[in-house]
Amino acid sequence: MAIDHDLLSIQEARDLAEAAYQAQLTWKHATQEEVDRVCAAMADAAFAASAQLGQMAHDETGYGIAAHKKLKNELGSRVVWESIKDVKTVGVVHHDPQHKIYDIAWPVGVIAALVPSTNPTSTAMFKAISAVKARDAIVIAPHPSAARCTYETVRIMQQAAVKAGAPINLISCIQHISLPGTQELLEHKRVRLILATGGSAMVKAAHSVGKPAYGVGPGNIPVYVDRSADLKKAAHYIINSKAFDCSTICASEQSVIADKPIADQLKQLMISEGAYFSNEEQTERLRKLLFHPNGAINTTTVGKPAQTIAGMAGFSIPQYARVIVAPLKITGKDEPLSREKLTTVLGWYEEDGWEAGCDRSIELIMFGGRGHTQVIHATDENVIMAFGLEKPVFRILVNTMGTLGAVGLTTGLMPSMTLGAGGEGGSITGDNVTVHHLYNIKRLAYETTPPPQAALRGPMPASAALSNTQDIESLVQQVVQEIINQTK
């Protein structure tokens, strides 16, 4: 008799959630030394396997570039660990002597983690290390198209963790993947928090469960290049960032907004870096290729090299080309290419002055990237600050690569593969999600101010203290007995 895959997936989700709960009951008593030893072992094992797992991810999904996935794995393992290794997550983590308050770390419990196909191994690394550091257990649900590489990533970390002293089921991964199985995991009574990274449908499903959930929104990232910018550096960074892993990081640049006086010069510099500017006929072919009539992205185009995209669209481009740049005039549903493009196609707008560039940026953000990220290349600090103050996003990256800057590799932001979009984007945080989001704080608070007199009553009359079942005689006997005891 054939085994029902959905039922198998549901049962596996239940078993893993229950096993994770039992493991976390033990792990929540771990010392800081034990926690850090286990996390360091996980990070080291994952880092050592970065190249192998990057190649597996590329081979299984068909997305991106294996060497770039290796770099993302190094970020998700060693760079993430270095950023949180000194964070205290056990016992008293802060003391405010002035206000007489002690902050005490308390783990969330079991975390259900959704991992996308675009960054399947690096995201699994980052989430597992962060969860274990917070003394949580974690069950990872991979994307079906990246099941093998995600499972292997988790297996490597689990093996290292157990060898370093962690309970065996502290880290686990669903192997029999189905939508009902993933839903069962999210809804399981043992799961206390959902950590969702992926497409809008996946994040929406995580938020609809009714449990606390960290989700990310889409990243329709505009990059404004001001007349004050270092244009050579801007062109170099924009093309390299968009080409990085074939634009599978949600913080990759999606549309360039060039200040009109420098637009032609920037265009030539971008061409020298590997940009190919499409003509109107080619641009129309790209519109039809990349998106379905309802606006949904054609997933067969995700994470593909520029030559592959051009071939799928029915035209050819030079071998030197790394990114196809499509000149655009409008923003919104009538211009499909103004959407987020998780592949090597970049929009191009020209606007006269930073105010117009600001307006176009906001249009793009509001159309499909609310709360996520804006990139700006400029040296005029007034323009930079104006963008920082006005944009409805929670990462404004200045003179850096969008892909690597947003995840904290080239900026001082916390290294993370889950980038919150705040209330603007339907998330509960605008932060780069890290270990601080995966534990709670108990507060031990001493009295610092006597209560106001109006809140206090005088001594209670003895008669008022007598209940209906207690008479005067029994009370007297009780008092006498207490006196006898005191004199012994």
Active site amino acids:
250
Calculate the CA dihedral of residues 196, 199, 200, 206 and round it to 10 degrees. Answer: -30
Q: Strand 345-351 and strand 253-259: pairing?
A: parallel
The count of other CB atoms within 10 Å of the CB of residue 377 is 26
User: What gap in Å lies between CA 398 and CA 402, rounded to an integer?
Assistant: 9
Q: H/E element holding 363?
A: helix 354-368
Quote the DSSP letter at residue 455. Answer: G
Contact of 32 with 91, CB cutoff 8 Å? yes
Residue 45 DSSP SS3: helix
Could you tell me the two tokens for 445?
């608070």
Residue 39 DSSP SS3: helix
Could you tell me the two tokens for 383?
């323009």
Contact of 21 with 137, CB cutoff 8 Å? yes
Question: Is the Cα torsion angle 254, 257, 263, 264 positive or negative in sign?
Answer: positive
**Residues paired with 347 in a beta bridge:** 255, 326
